[in-house]
Amino acid sequence: MEVTLDTFPFQKYGTLPGKLLSIIPDAYDDPQLGPVYKIMVGLDQMSLVVDGQKMPVAPGMTVSTKIKTGKRRIIGFFLSPIVKYAKESLAIR
């Protein structure tokens, strides 16, 4: 999982590695984002290097996360609808 601090652009300062510790099974409706899930993340490091100085992660900072759910090749991504259609059309009905 990659965690980005919204205060510092990840393109310049990078991300913090972390692990998903828990996820609440029920989504709640956020007025701006729609349905969202609350998660708890454990960070592997508690600071980010910004302009040569360590900036500690502090309570109240907003973050964004990217959760990697698996690996998939690009060719498989584009071919999957075709393969699915071919399997469905060849199935015995």
Lowest-pLDDT choice from 5-9, 38-42, 72-76: 72-76
Q: What is the CA radius of gyration of the chain?
A: 19
3-class DSSP state of 2: strand
CB atoms closer than 10 angstroms to residue 50: 14
Query: What is residue 73's predicted lDDT score, i.e. its pLDDT?
Result: 80
Which residues is 20 bridged to in the sheet? 41
The identity of residue 81, as a single letter, is P
Per residue in 9-47, pLDDT (tens digit) is 899 988 999 999 998 888 889 899 898 888 888 998 998
